[in-house]
Structure 1
């Protein structure tokens, strides 16, 4: 919870025109945005970087009109996806020059504070999902754990639970739908690979 409070304060400082807070927001989220952007569609690294920079340019320009998001990463990932899909739909490609420094910044070592914040956020999310999984019926709990913790195929899950493959898939699907309904939207990006 402290992570979101700190990010809210950082966002408010950025909205007030604090360039250091703006830079920290960029550094905290650029790697995740970069990975997510590349996973969406087969586009060039330069295109994804341009879209990330477009997002940050736009939020700086509109900073005084923005509200404080419940989850900054969710907001930035969603903004990036919107930007990428918009440009692809219009079949435009930004042609700005991307310097080597732009790529170097992506792989700069995070500070101890950034690492601790990321670890706390990850721990909090894992604890939340574990609590939610514990609320599922026992068969759904088992199916979810076999699928996502043990990485078993549906055929193997079916054998473990003495059912056919389709029933195993249905069981996992129903469990995921329950988790989707319980999770806040801000957590869905974190688990989009599973859902």
Structure 2
């Protein structure tokens, strides 16, 4: 049997197919969790509660929902809306990111561990630079390069037109490039100039 598209799964879920509903959940849970965690420094439970709220509401309203062109985009937008709603109501306790337990992968091979450490260091540096960007640029970068959304979808989530979304991502990337390249140029000017 050929693999079903997300839209086909959605139609089946709308008809009350619990297996299709479960497949949609499993297909998008990791993306939703990653995106939700990037939006707020909240506990794992808070993000998962928001995801479950989205899926519960979907089930209740399934017959009235239209089939989205991009299911992932629809779910990420619904999750963001839910998180904002709960934050505005201040219903949930928050845990700083530094207090969240993360599972650590501990390979036995020293070379792999060293490569992972170097990659983590680069990732930390990039994360630090991204955190220096204005909030809207941070979110646009995450939506574009982590969630792989197109500019039209980013614009819709951020409530701006497509061109403004492109400009926002471009300005963020340009700032990051400047922060990365300028210190290198400065280093060469000092020692070679």
TM-score, structure 2 length as denominator? 0.49
TM-score, structure 1 length as denominator? 0.48
